[in-house]
Structure 1
Amino acid sequence: MASVNQKQRVVVTGATGQLGSELKVILEQDLSKECFFLDRKQLPLDQIMLIQDILAMYQPDVIVHAGAYTAVDLAESETVLADQVNHLATDEIAQYCRLHGVQLIAISTDYVFDGNSSTPLTEDAAVSPINVYGETKLKGEQAIQKWCPKAIIIRTSWVYATFGKNFVKTMLRLMSERDSISVINDQIGSPTSAHDLAKAIVTIINSDKWAGGLYHYSNEGEISWYDFAVAIRELKQLDCDIVAIPTTSYPTPAKRPSYSLLDKTKIKTVYGVEVPFWRDSLAACLDSL
């Protein structure tokens, strides 16, 4: 930890991603911190041997590891690269944190679950990923737990933001180009505003307590991708027919969990994090687009 008169040094990986970009907006306003936002050029997560040396240059008190290989379908064929970035790079970061007494907050995914649950998933629910992306993220979690058991791991789902590529932006584009689109209605979960997740992470960093372990965070509510698309259409008052289809009608290289609703009780209880309702957060994002 930083001393009393010294600024807390925070390193954020994946700085140009959705969450990294939202963290940058919030943290750059905090004068009590010296923050370093590392993108894939400054911290190439596929260059495993360089990672600890690069981190040492910044001497962080806290690392928020938001960088990841997130191309879920491509991961099925780019298995080595996905493993390097999501597992082996995370292993190096965790080792660095252990060696230097650095606090680590790492982002994981609902894709560590198989989707066979019918009730919201708690942090101790059994993990069993059904795609390569989920497998590599789970290995990353396990590496953190091995080297850095006091780290905080936050699993999240269906992330979107004003930054980067995501479902919300894709829907807006398709609805403006087409009279009709088809969207899957049998995968259930809750979207996550990257802005809300970034605020939750900053709440943890600024807290006077550090309670390591697994946490879940997504917005409140339970919907399908179809419901999500319909809400986007309604909020933007677009004129496009949205057809509900089953997953079987839209085959993808990677399987998706059919149910991955996360239980947020722990993060709300331990850190007093406020979790907005999904539709309110979507409306806020659409307003700022």
Structure 2
Amino acid sequence: MFAFVLSLMICVSWLTQAQVSLTGEKFQPAKIYGEKTFKEGGKLQIKCSTFGAVNDSEEVFNYLCKNGIGIEMKKSRDRDVIFTIDGITKDFTGNYSCVYSEKEYDVKEARGQDFESIFITVNDSFIPAIITLPEISVKEGTDVDFKCTSSKLPDNDQNNNYAYLCKNGTVIQVNIWNTEKMEAIFTLKEVSKRDAGSYTCGLMADIQPIPKTRLHGINKASLHVTGWCRCHSERSTEHGAEARGGEHILYTDVTQNQPSRAVEWDDFSDNSEDDHGSNEDLYQVCEDV
């Protein structure tokens, strides 16, 4: 009698499993393992396991689902499959689950609702900082200090945080964050017109690639670098403009249009009748250098 009941139970169990396939269910639940917190910009790793549910020699299709919808797929005979996603952002925060199928389906068809799952949180690793400049327009050859400040720090298990200065989205300098003053100072030496552009800065707990973040307002500053122009004096005559004193060269700030030193008018005398006693006949011709 006992043997008959045991055989009946095994038969019912087999029929139940077979019925699952006969009902047309595409995806079966798999176990999921992994950390529950990750840092933005880092690497997300999750293990999906079909151990005990599938024969060792059987090849199946494993799917990783986020919020019940498939996002990654791997075909494997291994019972433990690792899913790895690099450069994660805060958008990867959500509920994750694993499923598998005997046939291959489009990854977006996979469904993992109502199965075993874990909630994963992606924490801030990059904190946009406020960036300020003493002047937004400077002359070539001068030094420029960028000051970055922030009242918030990234999630960090280490002692140091790192400040990044970026130009047009590319990192150009990295400094250790001053936790006492809550700031970092970046200096560009003897700037040229090539240094003009859009600058941003931010904080990270580790030295790693900066996640793609669109910054604006107080988290962004534009630097303008002005040059100089070379000028010479000319006199206007009734027959047109006649160059005079061309050997007297001076440099003028193009933004102020003022000479950097006094002009020497050796070809003209204050007492000359030809001078007409007026500066209206005198003017400057400038060219960029």
Q: With the length of structure 1 as denominator, give the TM-score of the two structures.
A: 0.20
Q: With the length of structure 2 as denominator, give the TM-score of the two structures.
A: 0.20
Give the strand-richer structure, 1 or 2.
Answer: 2
Relative contact order, higher structure (CA 8 A, sep 6+): 1
The structure with the largest alpha-carbon Rg is 2
Give the helix-richer structure, 1 or 2.
Answer: 1
